[in-house]
Structure 1
Amino acid sequence: MINRILGLSRPTKRLVSVIADLLLLSVAIWAAFALRFEDIAWMPAEKQLLVSGATVLVTIGAFIKLGLYRAVIRYLSEYAFLAIIIGVAFSSIALIVFGFLFQALVPRSVPVIYAAFAFLLVAGTRFSVRSLVQRPGAKSKDSVIIVGAGPKGMQLASALAQGVEFRPVGFISMENSNHRSLIGNLPVYSVEHIDKAVKDLDAGRVLLAMEDTGSVNRKELIRTLEGLSIPVQTVPSMSELVAGQARINDIRDLEIEDLLGRDPVRPDTAIVADSLYQKSVMVTGAGGSIGSELCRQILRNKPRTLVLFEQSEFSLYSIERELRSINEVEGLEVSLHPVLGSVAHRRRCEAVMKAFGIQTVYHAAAYKHVPLVEHNVIEGAQNNVFGTWHTAEAAILAGVERFVLVSTDKAVRPTNVMGASKRLAELVLQGLAQRQSETVFSMVRFGNVLGSSGSVVPLFRDQIRDGGPVTVTHPDIIRYFMTIPEASQLVLQAGSLGRGGEVFVLDMGEPVKIADLARKMIHLMGLDEKTCDNPAGDIEVVYTGLRPGEKLYEELLIGDDPQGTAHPRIMMAREVSMPWGEVAQLLERLSLASHTFDCEKVVDILRSAPTGYSPNGDVVDLVWQHGAGLGESNNAKPPLDGNVH
Structure 2
Amino acid sequence: MFQKFLSLPRFHKRLISVSADVVALLFSLWAAFSLRFEQQFWLPNREQLVIAGLTVVFTIGVFVKLGLYRAVVRYLNDRAFLTVVGGVAASALMLILLGYWLEVLVPRSVPIIYAAFAFIFVSGSRMGVRMLVSRPVRHSKERVAIIGAGETGLQLCQALDQGTEYQPVAFISFLASNHKALINGIPVYDVKFIERTIRTHRVKRLLLALDPDSGVNRKKLLKQLEPLAIPVQTVPSMSELIAGQKRINDIRDLEIEDLLGRDPVRPDNAQVSASLYGKSVMVSGAGGSIGSELCRQIIQHRPKVLVLFEQSEFSLYSIERELKAINTIEGLGVEIHPLLGSVTHRRRCESVMRAFNIQSVYHAAAYKHVPLVEHNVIEGVQNNIFGTWHMAEAAIACGVEQFVLISTDKAVRPTNVMGATKRMAELVLQGLAQRQSETIFSMVRFGNVLGSSGSVVPLFRDQIRDGGPITVTHPDIIRYFMTIPEASQLVLQAGSMGQGGEVFVLDMGEPVKIADLAKKMIHLMGLEERTEDNPGGDIEIVYSGLRPGEKLYEELLIGDNPQGTAHPRIMMAREVSLSWSEVEEALLKLTRASQSFDCQNVVEILRESQTGYAPNGNMADLVWCNAGQREPFSSSEGRVIQLG
Q: TM-score range by the shorter chain?
A: over 0.9
Q: 1:241 aligns to what SS in structure 2?
A: helix
1:344-423 maps to which residues of 2 (within 5 A)? 344-423=344-423
Q: 1:117 to 1:301 in 2, by over 3 A?
A: closer
Q: Deviations over 1:386-436 (max 9, x none)?
A: 222222222222222222111100011111111111111111221222222
Offset, 1:634: 4.8
Q: Is the 8 A contact 2:527 2:539 kept in 1?
A: yes
**Distance in 2 between residues matched to 1:172 and 1:236, nearest whole Å:** 18
Mapped partners of 1:251, 1:212: distance in 2: 17
Query: Hey, what's the Cα distance between the residues in 2 that align with 1:72 and 1:552?
Result: 60
* Residue 180 (structure 1) aligns with: 180
> C-alpha distance in 2, partners of 1:559/1:225?
39
Match of 1:295 in 2: 295
> Which residue identity lines up with residue 607 of structure 1 in the other structure?
R
Match of 2:477 in 1: 477
Q: Could you say what secondary structure the match of 1:366 adopts?
A: coil
Q: Where does residue 530 of structure 1 map in the other structure?
A: 530
* Contact 2:146-2:171 within 8 A present in 1 as well: yes
For 1:361, give the aligned amino acid: V
Q: Quick check: 1:599 aligned with 2:599?
A: yes
1:41–1:178 Cα change, 3 Å = same
For each residue in 1:23-43, what CA deviation from the matched residue of structure 2 results, as whole angstroms up to 9, or x when unmatched? 222222222233333332332
Matches within 5 A, 1:60-209: 60-209=60-209
Cα distance per residue 1:480-518 (max 9 Å; x no partner)? 111111101111111221111111112223211111111
Would the aligned equivalents of 2:633 and 2:640 in 1 still touch at CA under 8 Å?
no
Q: Does the 8 A contact of 1:592 with 1:637 survive in 2?
A: no
Partners in 2 of 1:335 and 1:37 — Cα distance? 77
Structure 1 residues 445-594: aligned runs within 5 Å: 445-594=445-594
Matches within 5 A, 1:37-48: 37-48=37-48
Report the CA distance between 1:300 and its aligned residue: 2.0
What is the CA deviation profile of residues 88-123 of structure 1, one whole-angstrom value per residue up to 9, with x for unaligned ones?
Answer: 233333333333344444333333333332222222
Paired residue secondary structure (1:203): coil
Q: How many angstroms does 1:460 deviate by?
A: 1.0
Q: Distance in 1 between matches of 2:299 and 2:69?
A: 49
Seen in structure 2, the aligned counterparts of structure 1 residues 331 and 102 have a Cα distance that, compared at 3 Å, is closer
Superposition TM-score, scaled by structure 1 size: 0.95
**CA distance 1:297–1:62, change in 2 (3 Å):** closer
Distance 2:136 2:178 in 1: 31
1:628 deviation in Å?
Answer: 5.2
Q: Is the 8 A contact 2:170 2:187 kept in 1?
A: yes
1:240 corresponding residue in structure 2: 240
Q: Which moved more, 1:550-559 or 1:247-256?
A: 247-256
Distance (whole Å) between structure 2 residues aligned to residue 48 and residue 369 of structure 1: 86
Preserved CA contact (<8 Å) 1:324 1:336 = yes
Note closer, same or farther for the CA distance 1:43–1:408 as it changes in structure 2 (3 Å cut): same
Letter in structure 2 aligned against 1:242: I
Note if 1:52 corresponds to 2:66: no
2:402 and 2:353 map into 1 onto residues whose CA distance is 12
The one-letter amino acid of 2:74's match is: R
Describe the superposition over 1:172-210 as per-residue Cα deviations: whole angstroms up to 9, x where unpaired. Answer: 223222222111111112222222222222222111222
Structure 1: how far apart are the matches of 2:84 and 2:478?
63
Tell me the alpha carbon deviations over residues 288-307 of structure 1, each in whole angstroms, 9 at most, x when there is no partner.
21122222222222222222
Change (3 A) 1:114 1:402: closer
Equivalent position of 1:304 in the other structure:
304
**Structure 1 alignment gaps of length 5 or more:** none
Q: How does 1:199-348 map to 2 (within 5 A)?
A: 199-348=199-348
Tell me the distance in 1 between the aligned counterparts of 2:297 and 2:41: 78
Secondary structure at 1:404 match in 2: strand
Answer yes or no: is the 8 Å Cα contact 1:311–1:340 preserved in 2: yes
CA distance in 2, matches of 1:365, 1:59: 69
The change in CA–CA distance for 1:348 and 1:142 in structure 2 (over 3 A counts) is same
Q: What SS is found at the alignment partner of 2:551?
A: coil
Q: Which moved more, 1:150-159 or 1:312-321?
A: 312-321
The percent identity for this pair of structures is 69
Distance 1:321-1:110 versus aligned 2 partners, 3 A rule: closer
Aligned residue type for 1:320: E
Which residue is 2:440 aligned to? Answer: 440
Q: Aligned partners of 1:364 and 1:370: how far apart in 2?
A: 16
SS in 2 for 1:86: helix
Structure 1 residue 281, shift from structure 2 partner? 1.9
The range that moved more, 176-185 or 23-32, is: 23-32
C-alpha distance in structure 2 between counterparts of 1:270 and 1:242, whole Å: 21
1:167 is paired with a residue whose SS is strand
Secondary structure in 1 matching 2:246: coil
**How much does 1:576 deviate?**
0.9
Residue pair 1:21, 1:122 contacting (<8 A) in 2 also: yes
Change over 3 Å in CA distance of 1:410–1:103 after alignment to 2: same
CA deviation after TM superposition for structure 1 residue 473, in Å: 0.9
Unaligned stretches of 5+ in structure 2?
Answer: none
TM-score after normalising by structure 2? 0.95
Mean Cα deviation higher: 504-513 or 547-556: 504-513
- For residues 86 and 314 of structure 1, do their structure 2 counterparts lie closer, same or farther at Cα, with a shift above 3 Å needed? closer
Superposed CA RMSD: 2.1
Q: Which residue identity lines up with residue 165 of structure 1 in the other structure?
A: E
Please name the residue that 1:426 is paired with. Answer: 426
Q: Which moved more, 1:548-557 or 1:623-632?
A: 623-632
Mapped contact 2:634–2:640 kept (Cα < 8 A): no
> How far 1:56 moved relative to its partner?
2.8
Any idea what SS the aligned residue of 2:169 has?
strand
Report the alpha carbon displacement of residue 644 of structure 1 after superposing the two structures with TM: 5.9
Residues 119-128 or 98-107, more deviating: 98-107
Q: Could you say if the C-alpha distance between residues 398 and 106 of structure 1 is closer, same or farther in structure 2, counting changes exceeding 3 Å?
A: closer
Q: Residue 453 of structure 2 aligns to which amino acid in structure 1?
A: S
Residue 25 of structure 2 corresponds to which residue in structure 1?
25
Distance (Å, rounded) in 2 between the aligned partners of 1:70 and 1:439: 65
Three-state SS of the structure 1 residue aligned to 2:338 is strand
Change (3 A) 1:106 1:529: same
Quick one: which amino acid aligns to residue 30 of structure 1?
Answer: W
1:66-91 CA deviation, whole Å, 9 max, x = no partner? 32222222222222222222222333
- Once residues 174 and 542 of structure 2 are traced to their aligned partners in structure 1, the CA distance between those partners, rounded to angstroms, is 36
**Deviation at 1:629?**
4.3
Distance 1:336 1:67, change over 3 A: closer
DSSP 3-state at the match of 1:187: strand
Could you say which residue in structure 2 is the equivalent of 1:3? 3
CA distance, structure 2, for counterparts of residue 58 and residue 620 of structure 1? 87
Deviations 1:568-602 (A, max 9, x none): 11101110112222222222222222223222222
SS where residue 547 of structure 1 aligns? coil
Please give the secondary structure, in 1, of the residue aligned with 2:69.
coil
Alpha-carbon distance change, 637 to 570 in structure 1, aligned in 2, over 3 angstroms: farther
SS in 1 for 2:547: coil
Instruction: State which drifts further: 629-638 or 353-362.
Output: 629-638
CA spacing shift, 1:288–1:73, aligned 2, 3 Å: closer
| Contact 1:218–1:263 (CA under 8 A) maintained in structure 2 | no
Distance 1:163 1:624 in 2: 58
- Change in Cα spacing, 1:632 to 1:36, as seen in structure 2 (3 Å) is closer
